[in-house]
Structure 1
Amino acid sequence: MMLSPMKFLLLWILFSLLFIIFTFLTLSALGNQTRFKLRLSIATFSFLLGLICFFGIFTDNSIKTDWKRIGSFKPSISVKETLNNFFDGKDTTPKTTKNDSDTPPAPPKNDSNTQQKNSGNYISKGRHYPVGYNPTADKGHKTTKGSGIYTVGKDIQPGYYKISIKEKEIGTIMLENENGRSNLSSMLDGYQKSNNNSINLHLAKDQKLIIKRTDQVSLEPIPVKTTTTLKQGLYIVDADIKPGRYIAKQTSKDSTNNLTLYNDNYRLKTNEILTNRKMKSSKSVKPKPQTAIDIKKNDIITIYGKGTTQLEPQ
């Protein structure tokens, strides 16, 4: 399985440091033939490996995605932002404006209507699916894909898919909406003892499916039908699950799932860790065996984990 560009970058930095260190050590060992040959060999070997890793950084553009997902803290002078601008081809040269003079910029207007509008735009851009999306309209087309970024409607036909990883492979599946917002990131485990070697996803036009750290996954169209047995996947209420009030509980004694529930405007309604196991909990995360949820049409439920969550109508 090919290393990711991010790993190539880290290896390139490591081998470059080794090359620099052993170059200096080689120069200091000019009077000793044995030490000179050994250190020169290590320096040369490190240089060659560093060169290979440098070219490996650019095997695909997923390194850009990795940088965009490293933390949420943004300092005033951000190396991550500079790298993102570099990959996007943006000009990073500071531009002089009228506000760069001695005159301080005017304070922002305290307009509640403007704040609500901006908040609404942010929430709208975070939506899982476009307004008016019909999850049963597209039938999809069976295909296989390797690591990369794929645009739905161009590289993959829209539809409802079971996405499965091949045996003895571990990879990551990510889904971005048409605005570039990441709405899902899930690990697929292809080893025999694992129960999360696949995930069910609705793929809408202009979304991006990102596959990482695996050579091949299969995308098989499946029919859309309602269910109350939820494994790892993303579910649209009224298409995959009937609206109503449910008790969500784990069916296995040794499994753990993370259940999240959003409304159709990307507002989080529920975020629970469901498990029958005894686990250490913090103030913010308190695992429990079951939870009550009220779901409405177009709500989104995501399930992460290796177990099965059962919905019991109330």
Structure 2
Amino acid sequence: MKFLWIIALIIFVIYIIISDKKLKNRKDYKEALTPSKNPSKELLVKRWWVWGLVLVLICGFFVPDLNNAENHDETYKTSSHHSKKPSSVKKRKRLSDYASKKVTKFMPVKNTAKAVTLGAGKYKVGRDIKPGRYVIKAVKGNGNLSNSDFTINVILGKNVKSDQVTSFTTNLIKNDKIKLDWIESTSFTPTPDKYTYKTKLSAGIWLVGLDIKPGRYVIRPIKGRGNLISEDGSDDNLNEILGKDAKRDQVSKVTADLTAGEVILSTLELIGLSKK
């Protein structure tokens, strides 16, 4: 688009130069250049509408940049010029749908994942990454980790204060599309075959009954801030922003009954679950 604006501006400027040169060479124009007379036709460079059109062409060149800058501010973290902001909760597909794809039975199974390290780019599970459960980390650099339906959308890095997470744990199934933006090197490490109940969870997608013992809990942020979402097929789901800044609609804790089969998504570096 910028290229077209540049071409249009160049063509118009050339037209002005050629047109004015022809006008200056005309006999009637030269004869009119006397103290008592004015030329019957003005040069294009002296006409207000010509400069107005030049200004429009120049603005047309820069307006896309301004729009891109606005989109950039909405899409990228202000603390890191090359890290995408995680998408809003409304844009995510249902986590219960995700669970039905990723975990068909609420029982431990052999992890088919295979360790791999990848650079920035787009990858397909089953072709570039073996299906399975992984801990995903940025080995070098920082940037955005996402998948095609934005169930996964976090910033991997080492600066927790900038809403980055040092790892993300999740299941990847065949045909999932994974995108790594601006991360020089990212490791995909298989999780152990054996599931254990945890009371501290890093960023990731977790299943109650495998990773978390069913029960009533108070959930608090330990490190970082971000979304805490759950789905169990009912309307009684978690959808909170955990953190320590109440002015930014963050809550310091949330109490919930977690039932077997419920899927928990956390984009915080670390959360703690206390039995109630």
The TM-score normalised by the length of structure 2 is 0.62
> Which amino acid is the alignment partner of residue 279 of structure 1?
K
Indicate if the aligned counterparts of 1:173 and 1:188 stay in contact, CA closer than 8 A: yes
Judging by fraction of residues, say which structure has more strand. Answer: 2
* Displacement of 1:250: 1.8
Q: C-alpha distance in 1, partners of 2:222/2:160?
A: 20
* Displacement of 1:17: 1.9
- Is 1:312 the equivalent of 2:267? no
| Runs of 4+ more than 4 Å apart | 122-125, 190-195, 265-268
For structure 1, which runs of at least 5 residues remain unmatched after alignment?
1-12, 33-45, 47-68, 74-121, 282-286
Mean alpha-carbon deviation: is it higher for 241-250 or for 265-274? 265-274
2:241 maps to which residue? 273
Indicate if the aligned counterparts of 1:201 and 1:233 stay in contact, CA closer than 8 A: yes
- Is 1:292 the equivalent of 2:263? no
2:46 maps to which residue? none
Q: Which has the larger radius of gyration?
A: 2
Percent of counterpart pairs with the same letter?
23
1:111 maps to which residue? none
1:114 maps to which residue? none
2:39 maps to which residue? none
1:157 maps to which residue? 130
Q: C-alpha distance in 2, partners of 1:140/1:197?
A: 20
2:152 maps to which residue? 184
1:64 maps to which residue? none
- State which of 9, 13, 16 in structure 2 corresponds to 1:25: 13
> Which amino acid is the alignment partner of residue 246 of structure 1?
Y
Indicate if the aligned counterparts of 1:166 and 1:190 stay in contact, CA closer than 8 A: no
> Which amino acid is the alignment partner of residue 4 of structure 2?
S
Indicate if the aligned counterparts of 2:231 and 2:264 stay in contact, CA closer than 8 A: yes
| 1:131-172 per-position Cα deviation (integer Å, ceiling 9, x unaligned) | 6256633241110223344332332112221111133332x2
Q: 1:192 to 1:186 in 2, by over 3 A?
A: closer
1:137 maps to which residue? 110
2:176 maps to which residue? 207
Q: CA RMSD in A?
A: 3.6
1:65-80 residue pairs with structure 2 within 5 A?
A: none
Indicate if the aligned counterparts of 1:160 and 1:222 stay in contact, CA closer than 8 A: yes
Total equivalences in the alignment: 206
Indicate if the aligned counterparts of 1:256 and 1:274 stay in contact, CA closer than 8 A: yes
* Displacement of 1:220: 1.1
Indicate if the aligned counterparts of 1:162 and 1:198 stay in contact, CA closer than 8 A: yes
The TM-score normalised by the length of structure 1 is 0.55
2:208 maps to which residue? 237
Q: 1:125 to 1:308 in 2, by over 3 A?
A: closer
Indicate if the aligned counterparts of 1:150 and 1:208 stay in contact, CA closer than 8 A: yes
Q: C-alpha distance in 1, partners of 2:234/2:190?
A: 26
